[in-house]
Structure 1
């Protein structure tokens, strides 16, 4: 892993594309150690313009906390501030154990609170910050990516990401602490029929997304990554199509209330 400290010129990026419901996105790091095979960021400039393979480098934005305080105050003067953390990295990847950078940003936001904060992660380490999450009341949502309930599937697509059982346990703990939570099936991977029931027990709501709805290009970016080959190796080719989500959606509808279930972009909106 190639790790580098950098000084950023800004830390808040205006929301656009799939995130245009948010005023800004916030990324403590550039790069991500989890290096999931299907990650759409592999097809974006931050990855394409690097010599290193996605998943092998991390840039630490060392001045992020100082920048955030200044930019938050400025942004709040212009209107409501709704933040998505993070859109192109994981705020709780392993380097966070050492840097505590994400925690420093949460401390800034706890003092100068945005109107809404969505925290997107796939790391159980997020539970470290329960004490800070509580300070936001209902103005925060902790969204844990749980693409499947099958560990063999997770290992095929994202071998460096945290185990699914650990993510589920962490999300349950955060929910039980009284913090708004979301289980995010994004992107949908092959799962069992028991998946919806498992999610109901650990989160306040569930959002379902797939490659075709969620990669920002109707699935074209994902096709370029050769993800279909992974499905073939698993003998699960039937799952790789834009209608597969409907089967899982029906399973979720049978288990969850309408108010607890969302599809694609609507599930990431700060307005719900």
Structure 2
């Protein structure tokens, strides 16, 4: 896919967040080359005036040097709420690294979300922040399904990066999201990551907007036996599948000795204990806040 890349000037890169999991958010880019078929942030095109397909454009943000970074001391800054801060072009443009370098010594707590192993480049820099945390989205161990869904690095590379950060004493999260009904083997992923992360987040697949038809068409073509289930969930708004999966995973967590909760970010737990599983199936506050977060960043970038 051809990529339209342009630099843009912004007043700042850090802003107050609507998300209940952080105080501030930062997105060094607009758009994301990973082109995830299910990306909720694709709606940002409405505000940033990009006619190109989602995943085919990237605005590279340039902002003034952050003044008084110490004002963020003790505050959590979430990097990557509507873009992946470590997509392949970060290697060339280095805007995420520039942001981290400007925050060094500020006392800010940083949380980074990615699907990449390029974050390994900045491991020592990230380690210098108090209570730093890095999360990787992993919703399958099937590399074929992964390559159908996004253009990010392989699952194998994501898992290796997670292990490296965990071994370095940096808090890690496995974000099992979105869970595709009948496709994502959540138990298999938990078994794979439970020894190399501090937190396992579970989030169900939500289908809305333009990408609903894309996913439904994909299911019809690649997993036709699952189409009735997807129609039941996403056309008839039937939540029974998620309730049953919730109960099944809660029982499984007890079986393997992991805590299963609905509200715990693991930051109060020591880093060497087994991970806690957090279910976000029904957290409408998270979903609504995420959308508001994206809209606000899109409008700011389009100003």
TM-score by length of 2: 0.74
* 2:149 is aligned with 1:161: no
- Point out where structure 2 has 5 or more consecutive residues left out of the alignment: 234-238, 260-274, 288-303
**Whole-angstrom CA distance in 1 between matches of 2:114 and 2:179:** 15
Correspondent of 2:99 among 77, 94, 105: 105
d(CA) in 1 for partners of 2:208 and 2:227?
Answer: 17
CA RMSD after TM alignment: 2.7
Contact 2:105–2:129 (Cα < 8 Å) also in 1: no
Residue 12 of structure 1 contacts residue 24 of structure 1 at CA under 8 Å; is this kept in 2?
yes
CA distance in 1 between counterparts of 2:210 and 2:125 reads 35
Write the deviation string for residues 124-153 of structure 1: whole angstroms up to 9, x where unpaired: 11111110121124x211111111111121
Contact 1:141/1:179 (8 A) holds in 2: yes
41-50 or 124-133, larger mean C-alpha shift: 41-50
- Which of 234-243 and 97-106 deviates more? 234-243
Per mean C-alpha deviation after superposition, the further-off stretch among 55-64 and 140-149 is 55-64
| Whole-angstrom CA distance in 2 between matches of 1:63 and 1:52 | 24
Equivalent residue, structure 2, for 1:261: 277
Do the aligned partners of 2:110 and 2:133 also contact (CA within 8 Å) in 1?
yes
Cα 1:253–1:163 shift into 2, 3 Å: farther
Q: Distance in 1 between matches of 2:213 and 2:59?
A: 23
3-state secondary structure, aligned to 1:220: coil
Give the paired residue count. 251
CA 1:228–1:38: 2 relative to 1, 3 Å: same
Q: Match of 1:59?
A: 59
Long gaps (5+) in structure 1: 213-218
Secondary structure of the residue that 1:187 maps to in structure 2? strand
CA change 1:238–1:105 in 2 (3 A) is: farther
Q: Distance in 1 between matches of 2:222 and 2:142?
A: 12
> Which structure has the larger Rg?
2
